[in-house]
Amino acid sequence: MSEPVINIGLAGFGTVGRGVWKFLRSQEDLLACRTGARLKISKVTTRTRSKALDQGVPESMLVPSWKELVSDSQIEIIVELMGGVQEARELVMTALRSGKHVVTANKALLAAHGEELLGIAREQGKKLLFEASVAGGIPILKALQEGLVANHVKSIHGIINGTCNYILTTMRDQKRTYEDVLVDAKRLGYAEADEALDVDGYDTAHKAAVLAALAYGVWVPEAKLFTQGIRSIQQQDIAFARQLGYEVKLLAIIKNDLEETLEIRVNPTLIPLTHVLASVDGVFNAISLRGDVVGDALFYGRGAGEAPTTSSVLADLAEIAKGRGRQEAASFCKPLVKKVLQIEEIISRYYLRLTIEDKPGVLAQVATVLGVHGIGISSVIQPETHEENGVPLIIMLHDAQEQKFVEAVKEIEKLKVVQAPAVWIRVEDFSS
């Protein structure tokens, strides 16, 4: 007996759209055997038609607007791969309200409107799936909702932007500046012409918002999600961090150890070289997660690119084809947290680099200010240099509340023997 056909409307034919077109065909039999249904693209819409025609999409399949996908009663699933927010939101809303399931990879859309769109999906009894929106080919969202469903997730630490990880790794290995490596990243296609979304941390923040929503049932608005990118990271800090036994990574950090309180932020972070995330180099992504039942778990793989991202889109299509429900479970749960911490409230360790006058007693003055704020020093290094314009002093600090730490740094910057600005980076020791 032949399998039922599920017709798909594909919106967007860029990197991921092209992958879905190619791999849905090459994997059609495998998916049919595994899901019991035949997934077939019946209509495609995209802005530049020639890109689709060049890949063998028949002219008869191409329609000028997504509106023709959602009004087609034969189409059961819309795959949104256009990117952007406003038009994608309109498409997803209209598709769900027209009784279609939706699969998207659009993290910017979800971070801004995920709650609203999932609400519509629920009302309509349709699925809105988005595995590819976080960490490309790594099936972390399905893991959270299926394999780890019995866990309360205590923490998530993610390297989930390949561009930033490539830049930081290359700065370290080739001892080059941020600006210099960024040029390479653009040439190699790892960074967009406008790099801001990646290097300023917003792409990571969008993905962090999606992870938090699935782990805790709460959508944290972008304005409440502290986001700091990697533009200000200097090669010398990466080198000093290595001397101290740390690696600098852009991390998404989500913690829920305090009852009903969520800590969520994106910032460059020193992580111990002994931690497995420290060895995640180049464009690779990894997510380290701690559950109260499973303990520590690690997910590693390619976070972007045509094939890895397509793998996740096809997994969502297969899930719909199998007729399994998963989103219902997550979205019907009561949110697990009531308060999202402000960045000033978090507790962290810190790396602090000062430029100081090369004379005795400076460390004592700095230590006094830190002591007044109740902040302890865990180690100090002062490389031997004889520069006229001051010498570096690197201090690793014990846990401190961010507000107190920032106040202490402001006072330290006012010391006559210290040149402002101080450079500091949060440190994660994975103890919680």
Ligand X SMILES: NC(=O)c1ccc[n+]([C@@H]2O[C@H](COP(=O)([O-])OP(=O)(O)OC[C@H]3O[C@@H](n4cnc5c(N)ncnc54)[C@H](OP(=O)(O)O)[C@@H]3O)[C@@H](O)[C@H]2O)c1
Catalytic machinery residues: 207
Which stretch in 76-84, 211-219, 326-334, 335-343 sits in contact with ligand X by CB under 6 A?
76-84
- Give yes or no for residue 48 binding ligand X (CB under 6 A): yes
Would you count residue 95 as binding ligand X (CB under 6 A)?
A: no
Binding mask 331-350 for ligand X (x = CB under 6 A): --------------------
Q: Which is nearer to ligand X, 14 or 217 (CB)?
A: 14
Task: For the CB of residue 192, give the shortest distance to ligand X in the complex, in Å.
Answer: 9
Q: Which is nearer to ligand X, 13 or 216 (CB)?
A: 13
Judged by beta carbon, residue 103 or residue 153, the one nearer ligand X is 103
Residue 217 beta carbon to ligand X: minimum distance, rounded to whole angstroms: 23
- Per CB under 6 A, the segment of 130-138, 219-227, 347-355, 380-388 that binds ligand X is 130-138
Query: Any contact of residue 137 with ligand X (CB under 6 A)?
Result: no
Cα 80 to Cα 16, 87, 92, 324: the distances in Å are 10, 10, 7, 20
Among 136, 139, 268, 291, binds ligand X (CB under 6 A): 136
Residue of 110, 89, 104 lying closest to 206 (CA atoms): 110
Q: Would strands 75-80 and 101-104 be described as parallel, antiparallel, or unpaired?
A: parallel
Does the footprint of ligand X cover residue 83 (CB under 6 A)? Answer: yes
Q: How far is the CB of 12 from ligand X (least distance, A)?
A: 3
If one asks whether residue 158 binds ligand X (CB under 6 A), the answer comes out as no
CB of 281 to ligand X, least distance (A): 18
Residue 51 in contact with ligand X, rule: CB under 6 A: yes
Task: CB nearer to ligand X: give 45 or 155.
Answer: 45
Residues 39, 81, 318, 341: which binds ligand X (CB under 6 A)?
81
Q: In whole angstroms, give the CA distance from residue 143 to residue 223.
A: 28
Q: Is 102 in the site for ligand X (CB under 6 A)?
A: no
Q: Quick check: 105 binds ligand X (CB under 6 A)?
A: yes
Tell the smallest beta-carbon distance from residue 37 to ligand X (Å). Answer: 24
Among 10, 24, 43, 45, binds ligand X (CB under 6 A): 45
Q: Binder to ligand X among 46, 256, 267, 288 (CB under 6 A)?
A: 46
Pick between residue 40 and residue 47 the one whose CB is nearest to ligand X.
Answer: 47
- Contacting ligand X (CB under 6 A), which of 5, 14, 357, 407? 14
- For ligand X, the binding residue among 25, 40, 47, 410 (CB under 6 A) is 47
Beta carbon of residue 62, minimum distance to ligand X (angstroms, whole number): 11
Q: For residue 114, state whether it binds ligand X (rule: CB under 6 A).
A: no
Q: Which stretch binds ligand X (CB under 6 A): 5-13, 233-241, 344-352, 402-410?
A: 5-13
Q: Using the structure block, give the residue that is written with the tokens 């993610």.
A: 158
| Closest CB to ligand X: residue number | 14
List Cα–Cα distances, 403 to 27, 278, 374, in angstroms: 53, 27, 12
Name the CA dihedral angle for 116, 120, 123, 124, rounded to a multiple of 10 degrees. -170
Which residues bind to ligand X, rule: CB under 6 A?
A: 11-17, 45-48, 51, 66, 81-83, 87, 105-107, 132-133, 136, 304-305, 309
